[in-house]
Amino acid sequence: MKPPKIHFRIVTDNNCPLYNEGDLLSLSAKTLTCPENKETCLILVREMTKLLFELLDRSPEEEASTKVYSCSGCSGLIKFQRIPDELARQDDPVSPEQPLDPEGEALLTEISDFPIICAVPDVELANVIRCFRKEQLPANFTFINKGRQGIYLYLILSGDIVVSDNALAIAHLGRGDICGEMSYLGGDVAGADVKTVTKSEVLSITGDAFSQLLDRIPELQLFMAKILVQRLAKSNASHFNVFDACMSGWIREMPPAELFQVFHMHQKTGVLSLDLPLGVAKVSFREGCVINAQYRDMTSQEAIFAMLKEREGRYTFTSGLSPEEMKAAEIGDFMMLLMEGIKRVDESAEEGK
């Protein structure tokens, strides 16, 4: 059953920047609907949400006909009264909506389970679908570039897509995921590259068109706000983990051979994690001695030798080891490991000439 709506008429407008006397407002369990072509005031949403549970079970007849509610959270003030449903319907006629063409209907069926589409009211679905354009992207194609302002937002239909920063993979995206919103909605340039791993299909929408949808559809505003909060929280958590570590940085600025020597000379105890282009590597140090190493399918000395060849990626060192690791044996004399690894790197470089 469709959730009931409560309707209000604005009876007083005192310098409100958005609404005027006589405007109709409708409140439901899901959203506040404002007059057509007018933005949604988040302060008003907050004020009216307080009324929601109080009024949903009461009819207008149960209230005093003169009862007036107000919102005065910004530079202006409005007052509004509840009105019967019949009056609201008279003042808010529904204009007939143009149906989607067969291609649009097929697209709507294809993406009907996407979270962003589920957030859009049925009455707005056709308008939203018409704003998107299908694009085929080849494999290994960068369609969002770090340091550039985003023009489009993308909804992924198929394929594997990676978000990366300086060759370090930050996130992997797939069907139903959104990308491009952080740079456009955040009003800043893209903070990372977004690149296809495999041949992919996406829906693109211009930032301006998406902004118009946001202005008109409060449910879409709420959905995107949640997405931004989640991604910012994830980003902040990542930064917190980096700051919480003893050391972090880029491998191009300090290659593995130098890193290993630093931790050996300062007799560090902890785990060095390296996010490398081909995967994550880990080296455990106990008082400067290497007691464990893993990289891809390699362990111990072979893993160390493979790490020494890498020149791109990011490293993080976290202090402390488990009781079991504190008892583990060294995998070899540190200087012998380092010298042998550097020798192999040099031999590989000579063979590549």
Higher-confidence residue: 105 or 180? Answer: 105
Most confident of 65-69, 124-128, 178-182: 124-128
Task: Identify the architecture of domain 102-241 in CATH.
Answer: Sandwich (2.60)
**pLDDT tens string 259-315:** 888 888 888 888 999 998 888 999 999 988 999 999 988 999 999 999 988 888 889
pLDDT at 94 over 60: no
Lowest mean pLDDT among 75-89, 147-161, 267-281: 75-89
Of the candidates 168, 195, 348, 201, the residue with the CA atom closest to the CA atom of residue 274:
168
List alpha helices for 102-149, DSSP H. Answer: 102-111, 115-118, 125-130
Query: Tokens 């504190």 identify what position?
Result: 326
Q: What is the pLDDT of residue 231?
A: 66
Of the candidates 311, 288, 308, the residue with the CA atom closest to the CA atom of residue 298:
308
What's the whole-number average pLDDT of the chain? Answer: 78
Pairing of strands 168-173, 142-144: unpaired
pLDDT at 168 over 70: no
**pLDDT tens string 14-47:** 888 888 888 888 776 556 677 665 667 777 777 7
Element (H, E) at 286: strand 279-286
pLDDT at 56 over 60: no
pLDDT at 78 over 60: yes
Q: What is the pLDDT of residue 36?
A: 60
- Ordered by start, the domain boundaries in the chain are 5-91, 102-241, 247-352
Three-state SS at 349: helix
pTM greater than the 0.75 cutoff: no
Q: Give mean pLDDT, residues 304-331.
A: 86
pLDDT at 139 over 90: yes
Neighbours of 152 (CB within 10 A): 19
User: What sign for the dihedral angle of Cα 65, 71, 77, 78?
Assistant: negative
Higher-confidence residue: 185 or 340? Answer: 340
**pLDDT tens string 238-266:** 444 444 444 778 888 888 888 888 888 88
pLDDT at 326 over 80: yes
**pLDDT tens string 230-239:** 665 555 454 4
Residue 298 CA to residue 307 CA, distance in Å, equals 10
Q: Give mean pLDDT, residues 66-80.
A: 77
Could you give the percent of the chain with pLDDT greater than 70? Answer: 76
Q: Note whether 271 and 281 are within 8 A (CB).
A: no
